[in-house]
Structure 1
């Protein structure tokens, strides 16, 4: 496939996700709804000519990943990989060895909270919940819960840019929060070719840009948080063999910066993570 056709095809996938209503299937109980949503999105035809680069992940190494982990948050900090997992009554915060995938320690979320994105801020870890109306503040050294802070709206992805927290909520908005109090301080609408991009999920803040998984797709987008414009796309289709995907919920959802332009990518229920570099 030549580069122009590839770019238009991938843009169609992203805009299909952006232009159709969000599906509520974020739990394995909703696989049938999820499947209908994917089929509907695949039926959408758009063909924009976009002035953004289309990248692909060049695999450098594979690392084992717990195939039972419903990955929602993924971040490397000071040599440790922190992972937040979801599903009501099964959600955890974990510290993982980034080289081997071994879970070093873990802590369950209280009650039936549905865990979502995480990020490290100094000696703390913030962890979103999906629709429970709270965000959790953990002590990083002990993985003990410090407090629950009220959260308005849904929690999907979270990252820290060194000054502020950036949150996604499944819409086209990136929302900014104070890293100490979690008070919301502003927002920006995300667009691709002047169209809103929704279903923004797990986030990673890198060098002033925000990378986002587009839920229910094998696409990553790079966003300029000042303007909200998508500045690059990553086509990760085929990264994980379809035979290794345990069910319809086993979608790409996890990006952690490793430094030197390398990243660790994984997904919900994936048996492996991939150390990659993005190339054209």
Structure 2
């Protein structure tokens, strides 16, 4: 009896595979082919797309999607008008022989245009504590708040930006490495680097209101907000969108220029619908301007030369810290262990 069952099962298996049944891998039947077989494309580029029919199946219909969103393909032409740049998955759902199958192809969509180049003009110089390994810088109601890094030295301060006088200070635990901050509706949201924990404080008293852990983001780097949502960088090419009430990461963008993926996105500032971001270890003192909806790098700000104006010590490190003062409508920038903070205008070249 066992022998008969085994033979029956084997025969059924052979029948299923020979007829292209449910166990047949879709990739053995179909393959998505795109112009030049490359995996690097640009936003709004039109590409030739074709479905290779490896087993000459009778195809009834093909539906294409990009990251689950249906797209139109006319005469084998596909416009890559994805709202976001970065890694994408093109999927073809194929209806054939009274059944369906799905095959996918990974591509990377870069920005369609190169970023604009910006420079700066110095308006004022202010004192900055050279012991501050600056990680976050933000104005709130015309007062400057700063967070600093390094274990055993990480603090959050509220201060007079003109004199450097400290109004209030909160020290983190010695095991915690402070990172970016952002302030929304009288709450300070404060990241730590690798501890997988963030804090929420009352902006007036610095009393801790809440704690939160990170979701899919790997570390805590930069933080900013648009008045409704929080934006968090984690050292990768991603910037995550958080709900300020639940602190849940609800979405993410990937940051790309027209030619490269941008990683190590550090201190963030949201100004007039754009994210201004420092970049760590980029080789130059530059900041970038990012579209928070698409992830496209729209501008690069060349801050080279600022570091030459601070007192040279062994501790002086990279540019980091960018804040916008809505009262003066100017930017304030500094760096890790710099003894100066600069008020600047940003100018398009």
Structure 2: runs of 5+ lacking an equivalent: 1-112
Alpha-carbon spacing, 1:80–1:242, altered in 2? closer, same or farther (3 Å): closer
One of 176, 185, 190 as aligned partner of 1:127: 190
Q: Which residue of 2 aligns with 1:258?
A: 325
Q: Distance between the aligned counterparts of 2:323 and 2:129, measured in 1?
A: 16
Q: Name the structure 2 match of 1:268.
A: 336
RMSD, aligned α-carbons: 1.7
Runs of 4+ that moved beyond 2 A:
242-249
Partner of 1:158: 223
2:308 match: 241
What's the TM-score, normalizing by structure 1?
A: 0.79
The reply to whether residue 102 of structure 1 matches residue 165 of structure 2 is yes
- After superposition, residues 2-81 of structure 1 pair within 5 angstroms as 51-81=114-144
Q: Which has the higher contact order (CA 8 A, sep 6+)?
A: 1
Which deviates the most, 184-193 or 102-111?
102-111
Whether 1:182 and 2:247 are equivalent positions in the alignment is yes
For structure 1, the 5+ residue unaligned runs are: 1-49
Q: Give the equivalent residue in structure 1 for 2:154.
A: 91
The change in CA–CA distance for 1:191 and 1:61 in structure 2 (over 3 A counts) is: same
Q: Distance in 2 between matches of 1:261 and 1:190?
A: 26
TM-score, normalized by length of structure 2? 0.64
**Residues 79, 98 of structure 1: 8 Å contact kept:** no
Q: Larger radius of gyration, structure 1 or 2?
A: 2
**Aligned pair count?**
232
1:172-229 deviations in Å (ceiling 9; x for gaps): 1111001122110100100011421011000001111000001123010000011100
Higher helix share: 1
Greater share of strand? 2
